[in-house]
Amino acid sequence: MVGMRTPRHLPVLTRRRLLGLAGTAAGALLLGRARAGAQPAPAAVSGALVLPALPYAYEALEPHIDAQTMNLHHTRHHGAQVANANRILADLPAFSRLSAEEMLRRLDEAPEAARTGLRNNVGGHANHALFWDTMSPSGGGEPPAALRTALEAAFGSVEQFRTRLSAAAAGVFGSGWAFLVRDTRGALGIVALPNQDSPWLVGSTPLLGVDVWEHAYYLKYQNRRADYIAAWWNVVDWGAVARRAGL
Q: At closest approach, how far in Å is the CB of 20 from Mn ion?
A: 27
Count of residues near Mn ion by CB under 5 A: 3
Q: At closest approach, how far in Å is the CB of 211 from Mn ion?
A: 4
Specify the residue, 74 or 105, whose C-beta has the smaller distance to Mn ion: 74
For residue 237, give every residue at least 6 positions away whose Cβ sits within 8 Å of its Cβ, in sequence order, or none.
Answer: 8, 133, 134, 135, 136, 138, 139
Q: At closest approach, how far in Å is the CB of 128 from Mn ion?
A: 6
- d(Cα 215, Cα 100) in Å, to the nearest integer? 23
Q: At closest approach, how far in Å is the CB of 92 from Mn ion?
A: 24
Specify the residue, 96 or 127, whose C-beta has the smaller distance to Mn ion: 127
Could you give the 3-state DSSP secondary structure of residue 36? coil
For residue 211, state whether it binds Mn ion (rule: CB under 5 A).
yes
- d(Cα 132, Cα 122) in Å, to the nearest integer? 15
Specify the residue, 69 or 86, whose C-beta has the smaller distance to Mn ion: 69
Q: Hey, which residues between 159 and 188 contact Mn ion (CB under 5 A)?
A: none
CA distances from 133 to 4, 116, 126, 198 (A): 15, 25, 11, 16
Specify the residue, 104 or 151, whose C-beta has the smaller distance to Mn ion: 104
For residue 213, state whether it binds Mn ion (rule: CB under 5 A).
yes
Element housing 177 (H / E) = strand 176-182
Q: At closest approach, how far in Å is the CB of 185 from Mn ion?
A: 29
Q: At closest approach, how far in Å is the CB of 157 from Mn ion?
A: 29
End-to-end Cα separation, the chain, in angstroms: 25
The interface region with Mn ion, picked from 151-159, 166-174, 205-213, 229-237 by CB under 5 A, is 205-213
The interface region with Mn ion, picked from 37-45, 73-81, 183-191, 195-203 by CB under 5 A, is 73-81
The interface region with Mn ion, picked from 9-17, 41-49, 85-93, 204-212 by CB under 5 A, is 204-212
- d(Cα 190, Cα 213) in Å, to the nearest integer? 18
Estimate to the nearest angstrom the gap between the alpha carbon of 118 and the chain centroid.
Answer: 16
Q: Residue 221: count other Cβ atoms within 10 Å of its Cβ.
A: 19
The interface region with Mn ion, picked from 24-32, 69-77, 80-88, 102-110 by CB under 5 A, is 69-77
- d(Cα 160, Cα 151) in Å, to the nearest integer? 9
User: Contact residues for Mn ion (CB under 5 A)?
Assistant: 77, 211, 213
